[in-house]
Amino acid sequence: MRFLITAGPTREPLDPVRYLSNRSSGKMGCALASAALEAGHEVVLVSGPVALEPPPGAQITRVETARQMFEAVRDQISGCEAAIFCAAVADYRPVSVAGQKIKKTGERLVLELERTEDILGSARSIFGFRGFLAGFAAETTNLLEHAHDKLRRKGCDLVIANDVSRAGIGFDSAENEVILCLPGAREIPLPRQTKAGLARAIIAFITETHPPQTPPSPQ
Ligand code: CTP
């Protein structure tokens, strides 16, 4: 199968030297890409700025902003059978980007932000993607409720629920513990382990439950 995987944070510029971003390290996305390659799949990796080296063999597109990630996914998703949206995309960006470094003036500075493109939410509705669609739900409250809601709203086949309020797992950690949320209110907990171990389990789950469509053999 050919997997599209998004990874890492996005950076939303404020001025030539500053941006809004988050603590995503890209480790989970990279682990998913490595696991898919190990299992013999092809990988298109769309990655925000991360310090990690992408796994050799992945076709990589590096982006900075949510808009660039949206465009890269839009241009590449139709050639893929499965997509896993692991990137921590900024939900808002500054309405305007200053051409010059913003100088400090008053005691307070108010930033005006606007919504970014919802890339996962565009997969079915805008890109017309028909393959296996997986997203992440990184939440600090009501984890499973939010995850099942996301699954329905965004037309996903799988939402990987991740409690980011707990120390030692999730954002920028070596380990993670997740619950696979599936249509029909089904849930499969994956115990705490390295991100590499979890990534192998997620790729194996997708491959087993959605084997690639093979054309019927000629009679
Ligand atoms: N995501 C995305 N594009 C965005 C924001 C998020 O593709 N602009 C993807 C992430 O890669 C992840 C999933 O959406 O797979 C969950 O992100 P989250 O921000 O939690 O989803 P939302 O539904 O936007 O969450 P909420 O409505 O709770 O803010």
- Tell me, yes or no, whether 106 lies in a domain: no
Average pLDDT for residues 109-127, to the nearest whole number? 97
146-173 pLDDT per residue, tens: 999 999 999 999 999 998 888 776 676 7
Instruction: Decide if pLDDT at 218 tops 90.
Output: no
pTM of the predicted model over 0.75? yes
Ligand 1: lining residues by beta carbon, under 6 Å: 6, 66, 85-87, 89, 91, 116-120, 135-138, 146, 150
Q: Which atom of ligand 1 is nearest to the CA of 138?
A: 20
Measured in Å, residue 120 CA sits from the centre of ligand 1 at 7
**CATH number reported for the structural domain that contains residue 141 in this entry:** 3.40.50.10300
Measured in Å, residue 217 CA sits from the centre of ligand 1 at 40
Q: Cite the active site residues.
A: 22
- Tell me, yes or no, whether 30 lies in a domain: yes
How many domains are there within the chain?
1
Q: List the domain range (segments joined by +) for residue 73.
A: 2-92+115-209
Q: Which atom of ligand 1 is nearest to the CA of 84?
A: 15
- Tell me, yes or no, whether 205 lies in a domain: yes
Torsion-angle region of 18 (φ positive above 0: left; ψ -120 to 50: alpha; else: beta): beta
Residue 28, classed as helix, strand or coil, is helix
Instruction: Decide if pLDDT at 70 tops 90.
Output: yes
